[in-house]
Structure 1
């Protein structure tokens, strides 16, 4: 069985497990308090939201338990530290993939609320959330100077997307690299670039690698009538890579 087939089988098994748990909860409704939100379990939308919640919990639980076991194991012996590090790294990567998948599934259920947003507020909040992560790996963050344009859109979805773009660029850049963010008004919208330099083919390929996180970010940008593309390094000593994001000032509803 290939890795892709195994992942699909795991997702299918989790869906079955979540559905069976949902059926048990529905059958025991008399003994279980009603959800705090007051949703109707006979409403298909409410059932789907509940299933997504159960699915996210069940997919995360094995990896979370494994990481907890590793933490206890490492306090007892350091003889197999290399193996423990490999297992822990695999579990953390698996958790990130599961979280990305959950975020993508919830995006399909999100009711977008388009409002006027200050780009400065969005960008500063995203930079604050990844600042410690960048410092730990020696990445220097550089913010654009001056006031930034305002845009229209869903603040929550755009904030999480900006945070992911910055975090993915930090993960692809080499230690000691400067990560520069530039923002300007352009063609009825706002152009934002997140670039690290110097860059190599490996770092650029990591950004362009398909997956649920990239698909979720592209769906969010598309809902705002925009465009998101990874930048490929050019030839020469000044090669750079990163992201190019264009958003409409007034997205379509």
Structure 2
């Protein structure tokens, strides 16, 4: 029956998304550790779901470069080296800094002001220690800002880099409140661009990316010896 089949697929897809969100949250918190292999049945037991949506969600995370499949064992959380982070930051700086300057000189006031609610959401989420909402708003802000340059391939390249690195270190930064300072730089950037101050906007973006990289490094030093906690929180059934 087509209707019942479609409904089943919808429910399964929703559960898969819930599981993926729970796994991302565990990655952010550092409960899923780089280099460690986790089996789908073990994670499923902690989440309170079957192994199938866990495997499907892990495949989604693998496509984002956050985990990798290990034959007959499960999935290994991708290890992010200092060199990886340096290279990601370098590429983003080469792309995003001049693009911000170009957008500041060419975008309309209406286009830039349309991004202000996202900039405020980033600050609010950081202040409320809601890392998942922070990530969502931050991701949308940066990519929508870059899209104003009119080059979709450029946006896709940056999106790929962000997926590989955006979870690193956010857990501790959120706990210590240091994420707020990074969040506020989005508002500063938008203010400079709206004022047509292209050179200063470029410098702000360069400083923002360097700031994020420094926070990553500091967090890497602070996570040594962190205690073991349950890997993931159980998924709540859909209301």
Q: TM-score, normalised by structure 1?
A: 0.24
Larger radius of gyration: 1
More helix by share: 2
Structure with greater contact order relative to length (CA < 8 Å, sep ≥ 6): 2
